[in-house]
Amino acid sequence: QDGSAPTGDNTGRHTYSCDATNNALSVETSYKKHLNGSADVLFSVVPGVGTHLFRYRGAWMQLKRERQTQMMPGPVDGRPFETLSITTLARDKHLFPVLLEEARQLYAEAEQGAMVVHTAMGTTWQRFGPPRTKRDLHSVILDDGVAERIEKDIKSFMHRSQWYRERGLPYRRGYLLHGPPGSGKSSFIQALAASLNYDLAIMNLSQRGMMDDKLNHLLLNAPGRSFILLEDIDAAFNKRVQTSSDGYQSGVTFSGLLNALDGVASAEERILFMTTNHLDRLDPALIRPGRIDVAELIDDASPSQTRKLFLRFYEGERDEAELERAANEIAQLVEENAGRGRRISMAALQGHFIRHPIDTVVQSKGELFP
Ligand SMILES: Nc1ncnc2c1ncn2[C@@H]1O[C@H](COP(=O)(O)OP(=O)(O)OP(=O)(O)O)[C@@H](O)[C@H]1O
């Protein structure tokens, strides 16, 4: 470390130079903060800014890493532009395509099986931590037919770019998932994106400093091949413009959201998901083709979801007939309580299954509806 202030930003990616001279290595640190407050820190040693010599398949090559003062514009993460130049003797130049192809493959392997999550920071999108392991779509259990309907719709949209283009329509689709907390809205969107090899760009409209113009800019400059997720959209306009004690203003207005959704059409595909716990608080003007094309209720646990979640959790721990009996018993309890207007979220059911091994899960079922 050369004692200078780290370059970087609040995403947690910092680069410290080991040495100001050439051939220096840099240590790149990235951290990912979890919701429970814990953090993972990763280090990697990379060639620092300057000139480096290395051997590749018997040939000497020179790598020059230069950093410009300008920052990368648009949906990337505010890092400076860099140029990497590789030089070798003319007799070894056939190795360039080999080296680039190997680099491409290594990159693809590292990203495979993982999805990148971007979050909105100011007016740019930033990668949120290292790529995440993809969640299996079948691990999110929605009520019968719901997941299949959404999946079918989105796949059909993905095959219709030509159709939209020929009719001069903006190539966009909007989905609204509404329902109580802990029903799997966010988990499903994340798993669906992963299953279709898309990344996720998450934005919360009520986050500090979010204003109409920022929202518009972020939507227009969303990262490529990503689902955009606007969380808790109702929370935003209930507050209107707020000024906190430090004079900081934030607030997205309803007309600001409509403008951003309708914004200047680009040829790029846009797949937008919105979630809310309160459908009744949304203005019907939102539900219009191009803004929200498909709205689905993602509700508290149904008896069928309860059964499936149970079987997924305890699969293989008893013989099938015994598991079926236990699953049905819990599902029946959920059904009886629903009849009395008492519902339970999938998140709460999951919590119960995590707390109890198969031996105690049925006898402690009373805890589900205290
Ligand atoms: N339908 C489901 N199937 C499997 N797991 C679920 C389901 N619903 C919720 N969970 C589990 O509960 C937790 C919370 O779920 P999630 O955040 O997706 O809910 P949500 O509906 O988006 O909630 P909120 O409205 O509060 O954002 C996650 O750990 C998830 O695995």
- Provide the ipTM: 0.97
Instruction: Please indicate whether residue 187, judged by its CB atom, sits closer than 6 Å to ligand 1.
Output: yes
Q: Among candidates 65, 64, 60, which has minimal Cα distance to 88?
A: 60
What's the distance, CA 111 to chain centroid?
14
Q: pLDDT of 259-273, one tens digit each?
A: 888 877 666 789 999
State if residue 346 touches ligand 1 by the CB under 6 angstroms criterion: yes
Whether 182 lines ligand 1, by a CB cut-off of 6 Å, is yes
Q: Which atom of ligand 1 is nearest to the CA of 305?
A: 1
Task: Return the pLDDT at 283.
Answer: 86
CA distance 273 to 178: 11
pLDDT tens digits for range 72-112: 554 444 566 788 899 999 999 999 999 999 888 887 776 66
Question: Considering the entire predicted model, what is its pTM?
Answer: 0.74
Q: What number does the ligand 1 atom closest to the CA of 275 have?
A: 25
Single-letter amino acid, residue 6: P
What's the one-letter identity of residue 359? D
CA distance linking residue 20 with residue 25, whole number of Å: 10
* Beta-ladder partners of 86: 63
Mutate to test the pocket of ligand 1, among 192, 202, 345, 346 (most ligand atoms within 8 A of CB): 346
Determine the pLDDT at residue 8: 38
Low-confidence ranges of the chain (pLDDT < 50): 1-21, 34-36, 74-77, 240-242
Amino acid residing at 195 = S
> Which pLDDT score is estimated for 330?
95
CA of 346 to the centre of ligand 1 (A): 7
At position 41, the amino acid (one-letter code) is V
For the Cβ of 185 lying below 6 angstroms from any atom of ligand 1, the answer is yes
Strands 7-8 and 172-178 come out as unpaired
